[in-house]
Every structure is written in structure tokens, then in C-alpha cells.
Chains A and B, each alone.
Chain A
Amino acid sequence: MLADPYVTLGVEKSASQDEIQKAYRRLAKKLHPDLNPGNRQAEEQFKNVTAAYDLLGDADKRARFDRGEIDASGAERPAHRYYRDFSEGASPYSSDAGYEDFGDADEILAQMFSRGGRARAHMRGADIRYRLELDFLEAVNGGERQVVLPDGSALDVNIPAGTREGQILRLRGKGRPGLGDASTGDALIEIEVRPHRIFTRKGDDIHIDLPISLREAVLGGEVVAPTPAGKVMMKVPKWTNTNAVLRLKGKGARRLDGTSGDEFVTLKIMLPEKPDPELEKFVAGWRGEYSPRQATES
């Protein structure tokens, strides 16, 4: 559950855009990680404040949020590294001003600066994070995808079968280069899965609704059922009702241990779309005494 952006910024729901901007600036000035080099918590707090402002600072997005059309996560920013993260290494911006008035300490400090610069020249490269949106079937069946990074280079990503929403794929050594002899960072790819028109997924199982005709329901028969891997023939037993669930073993998503989940097919009896005089005549002649509403009527 994400925090309420109004609470994060400390403003009323009725606050004007101007008040929201003021609240954001007040907090951001206090919390910006580069203005708080020694405060590790500042980064997390600043991220929350910025995300809240991304949402509420834009009158359009704010209105959509108020109407409940988007949630607070709609405003997440791509991660970036703060300037303070580089303060350890040697950089053209390093400043050794500020202690000249220490007098004879000067030499010792100068020594430290040069030693510090050398000793800290090795730093593991940063991990980079991406989001990758997959089609439902692509996630279930797996495959290869190419991701184009912001700097224009392409990365081949192998999507394992059975990949889930929110799963993070780690590509070793595909992040930023390290400094000196240190190793390269990793690329972390967070997976989002687009919903499918007919399939839904619960854990490793796939669920679908499958319409059948009155004739198939009463007399039974073979019907074609779609699965993520393709169509299969499925036997519908005689006298099958709406909401009967049939299980197709092993036709769900692949698990890490190599086994697979199942597909559950919920059957729905459908009458023909256009009135069928023959069927009407037949049912009129049927003297069925059964009432399906016994439970609701008593």
C-alpha cells in the first residue's frame, strides 16, 4: 500500500496547486540528498516527496488521482544516482578548499587528499534498473526480448517461461562500468505483465471462461480449449452445468522446479445469439419440473 501523497506533502485535499508547490519546495529543500550528504534516510524521504509531487503537482494527474483513475505508483520516477554518491572518488569538482586556516595541519591534510584519491579509485559500477512490459503469453511461455537502453545500446534479455508480474531479472555485468579495477554493476529488470483478453493467472495456474452450447452441456462432447501453449481438445462430460470447472493438468505456467501449474476452464452455457424457433418449440414441449432457485426462494 502506497502512502497517501497528500499526507506525504502535508497538505489538505483542498489545497491549491500553489500551496502544493510551496509544500513540495519546502520539503525538497530540506530533504534533497545532495543537500544532505551524510543523511542516508534523506534519499528515501525525498523520493516519496518527489513522487507525491509528480502526481499532485500536475493538475491533470491530480484530478485523475482524486477520481481514483490512477494510483500513487503512477508517479514513480526512474532512479538516478545523486551527486553525493560520487563524493568518494576523484572528480574534476573535488574541492580541497576550506581548511587553509588550519595552519600547519595543511601538509598532513594534503597528504591525506592524495592518498584518499588513490585508495578510493576502485568502486563497483552501479546497478541500472529498467521496467519491461511483457504480453501475457510472452511471460507465460518465455522467450527473447531486446531492451533498448537510454543510451541507445541494446540488451538481449532471456525471459524464462513462467515469469511473473513484479519479478526482477538480474543480468550480471550489464550495469554501469566500475571505477578502476572494480567490477561492472548489474542490470535489474522489473517485469510488468499486460493482462490478456481471455486468460487470467493466479499463481502458477491459468484460468479461463469457456462458453459451451446447450447441446454440448446436455449431451457432452469434445470442445477446443485455448491454453497459453496452444489449442487442446477437451472432453465435456454429459450433463455439465454453467460454472463447472474442468482442469487441464500441466497446462499452466512453468514453475522454477520445472513442473507446471494447471489450467482451470470454467464452463458457461450460452444460448444461440439469435432466437431459434426450433429450440423454442422444443423447450415449450418440455415438461421439466426443475427450479434452479430453490435455495434463493426458501
Chain B
Amino acid sequence: MLSRTFILQARIDAEDLESWCAEGWLLPCETESGREFSDVDLARAHFIRDLLALGVNREGVPIVLDLVDQIHGLRRVARDLLDTVKALQRERDSE
């Protein structure tokens, strides 16, 4: 979706969008017809809006985002490790 639709769906104003992109909190694709936003960007914008509404200040937002992104990365690794362990177990059981 383009910026205009994104602003409407994320329920933020154009100024917020500019500064959030400038800060690197949102990373839309730059295309010939302008910035193109995905559903991930939209969900992240909702999250940022909620954080600000909960009283997290502008300095705190990137810290929370970074930690949350790390948690997702670690959760993914943990799940893959578990899958691998399970597969190894099955392999051993069938031997």
C-alpha cells in the first residue's frame, strides 16, 4: 500500500509517518511510485502507536522495538532447535 492508505489504516498522521521512517522505525520499500508499505509495516506501526500511547517516550521506542525483534529472532531459533531435537529423537527411536 502507498503512504496515503498506510496513514489511514495505521491511524497516524503524515508527520508521524515521516519521522518514524526517518528514525528507521519503519523500513518501507522505495519504489518508483513512492514508498510501498507491507502488512508487516502496518502491524509495526500499530505497535509503535500503542507504545507511545502507553507512555513510552520517543527515546524508549527504538529500544523496545529492537528487544522485541531480538525476542522474535531467539524464539525462532528456539523453535528450530526443538524441531531438530525432535527429528533426531525420532531418527534414533526408529533405529
Report which A residues bind B (CB closer than 8 A): 25, 28-29, 32, 34-35, 37-38, 80-89, 91-99, 109, 112-113, 115-116, 126, 150-152, 176
A32 touches B73 (CB 8 A): no
Q: Are A87 and B54 in contact (CB under 8 A)?
A: no
Please name 15 further chain A to chain B contacts, defined as beta carbons within 8 Å, in addition to the given A34-B50, A80-B43, A98-B74, sorted by A numbering: A25-B54, A28-B50, A28-B54, A34-B47, A81-B39, A82-B47, A86-B43, A87-B76, A88-B76, A93-B27, A93-B40, A94-B72, A96-B73, A97-B73, A98-B70
- B9 surroundings in chain A (CB, below 8 A): 150-151
B56-95 interface bits toward A, Cβ cutoff 8 Å, 1 = contact, 0 = none: 0000000011101111111111001100100000000000
Cα(A81)–Cα(B9), bound, Å: 12
B44 to chain A, nearest CB (A): 5
Number of residues on chain B facing chain A (CB within 8 A): 32
The interface residues of chain B lying within 8 Å CB-to-CB of A115 are 80
Quote the shortest CB–CB distance from B45 to chain A (angstroms).
Answer: 9
A91 to B65: give the CA distance in the assembly, Å: 14
- Which are the 9 A-B pairs with shortest beta-carbon distances? A87-B72, A95-B69, A83-B47, A83-B43, A92-B27, A112-B80, A95-B73, A86-B40, A98-B70
Task: Please state if A37 and B75 are interface contacts (CB–CB under 8 Å).
Answer: yes
Name the B residues within 8 Å of A89 (CB-CB).
Answer: 40
Q: Could you say which residues of chain B place their CB within 8 Å of the CB of A109?
A: 77
Q: How many A-B contacts are there with CB distance less than 8 Å?
A: 86
**In the bound complex, do residue A37 and residue B72 qualify as a contact, i.e. CB atoms below 8 Å apart?**
yes
Whether B39 contacts A86 by the Cβ 8 Å rule is yes
Cβ of B31 within 8 Å of any chain A Cβ, yes or no, is no
Q: Which of B27, B42, B50, B77 contacts A32 (CB 8 A)?
A: B50
Q: Return the chain A residue nearest B4 by Cβ.
A: A152
Q: Is B35 an interface residue (CB 8 A)?
A: no
Residue B33 CB within 8 A of the other chain: no
Nearest CB in chain B: distance from A93 CB, A: 5
Closest-CB distance, B40 to chain A (whole angstroms):
4
Question: How many angstroms from the CA of A83 to the CA of B39 in the assembled complex?
Answer: 9
B8 interface contact, C-beta 8 A: yes
Residues on the A chain within 8 Å of B27, using CB: 92-93
Residues of A near B77 (CB, < 8 A) are 99, 109, 112-113
Provide the bound-state CA to CA distance between A46 and B8, in Å: 23
Enumerate chain A residues within 8 angstroms of B46, measured Cβ to Cβ.
80, 82-83
Report the nearest B residue to A97, measured CB to CB: B70
